[in-house]
Amino acid sequence: MEKLIIVQNLNLVYSDGVESLIDVNLDIIANSVNVFFGPAGGGKSSLLRAFNRLNDLADVARISGRILFHEMDILDPTTDVIELRRRIGMVFSRPVPLPLTVYENISYGLKLAGERRKSRLDEAVEDALRLAVLWDEVHDRLNDPAYSLSGGQQQRLCLARVLALKPDVVMLDEPTSALDPVSTARIEGLLLDLRERFTLIVVPHNVQQAARIADYAGFFLQGRLVEYAAGKELFLNPKLKDTQDYVTGRFG
């Protein structure tokens, strides 16, 4: 049970005054599916975007606390964000293929990192597509525009694109919210398989999904981490009333 990321007293306020994260303390456990769930506006996405400093692009008025990742303090202004983002990859809620070919999408991150050798790129593209269980479907369409793939394929492409960088952590923010049930099931199965090689942080798009995939689950409500537990504990025996109400579908 190795702690890969340690969050200490994290507070985040947007410039419109909204307190998005309040006193969050939390560990991300390596080689597990770490799930954050709860109603919209609870702070889940803000937390993900703190991990890869994507919040730098948003209107953040104040952020305090510490996020430790290996030897790095993520929030330290001198932290190399480029290096950080290569190690903590992210998949977004709607599949966003870059307007390039399938091959170029997967090799994009490596090219950014300066890899030019064709053989290395070919190898990395195939590995990543196999990891995302997309290779068999697209191996003969590598030079087609990524937009020609179906929605479910596009999302696995986005996952493969992140995996190609061999990150330590893969974050997925409601990765199945734009997908049909079959594609959703494939992605969920995939995440469980990927645990062996990566640490996953997932914001699921509903409670059922959270319960299906969570190794560790945190329930977020209005910026606070209300309850946190290992395994299915949070869904079977929630300790707090808020959690219980949300898990049983009484609100949210």
Partner 1 sequence: MDRSNHIATVRRIEWIGTNLLRLITLLTALPVIGVILYIFARGMPAISLEFLTQMPREGMRAGGILPTIIGTFYLTLGTAIFSVPLGVAAGIYIAEYAPDNQLTRLIRIAIINLAGIPSVVYGLFGLGLFVLFLGFGTSILAASLTLSIMTLPVIISTTEEALRSVPNAFRVVSLSMGGTRWQTTWRITLPQALPGVITGIILGLERAAGETAPILFTGAAFFLPRLPHSPLDATMALPYHIYVISTSVPGMPVQIQYGTVLVLLIFVLGMNLIATLIRNRARARRQW
Q: How far is the CB of 84 from partner 1 (least distance, A)?
A: 8
- Rounded CA separation 237/63 (Å): 33
Note whether 5 and 51 are within 8 A (CB). yes
- State the residue for tokens 């199965």: 189
CB of 121 to partner 1, least distance (A): 15
Q: What are 224's strand-pairing partners?
A: 221
Closest contact distance (angstroms) between CB of 98 and partner 1 is 6
CB of residue 219 to partner 1, shortest distance in Å: 26
Residues that bind partner 1 (CB under 8 A): 52, 54, 57, 82-83, 85-86, 89-90, 92, 94, 96, 98-100, 108-109, 111-113, 145, 147, 158, 161-162, 165
Query: Please, which residue, 52 or 209, has the CB nearer to partner 1?
Result: 52
Compute the least distance from the CB of residue 157 to partner 1, in Å: 11
Q: Which residues contact 150 (CB under 8 A, 6 or more apart)?
A: 183
| Residue indicated by tokens 């190794």 | 215
Residue 34's nearest CA partner among 2, 80, 75 is 2
Q: What's the CA gap between 20 and 60, in Å, rounded?
A: 10
Nearest CB to partner 1, comparing residues 59 and 136: 59
Residue number with CB closer to partner 1 (15 or 208): 15
Output the CA angle 200-201-204, nearest 5 degrees: 115
Compute φ and ψ for 218, nearest 5 degrees. Answer: -125, 135
Picking from 92, 1, 14, the residue whose alpha carbon sits closest to that of residue 58 is: 14
Task: Pick the closer one to partner 1 by CB: 90 or 210.
Answer: 90
Nearer to partner 1, 162 or 226 (CB): 162
**161 versus 186: smaller Cβ distance to partner 1:** 161
Query: According to DSSP H, which parts of the chain are helical?
Result: 44-51, 81-87, 102-112, 118-131, 135-138, 151-163, 181-194, 207-213, 233-236, 241-247
Q: How many CA atoms within 13 Å lie on the side-chain side of 106?
A: 34
Least distance CB 60 / partner 1 (angstroms): 14
Nearer to partner 1, 113 or 236 (CB): 113
Min CB(154)–partner 1 separation in Å: 11
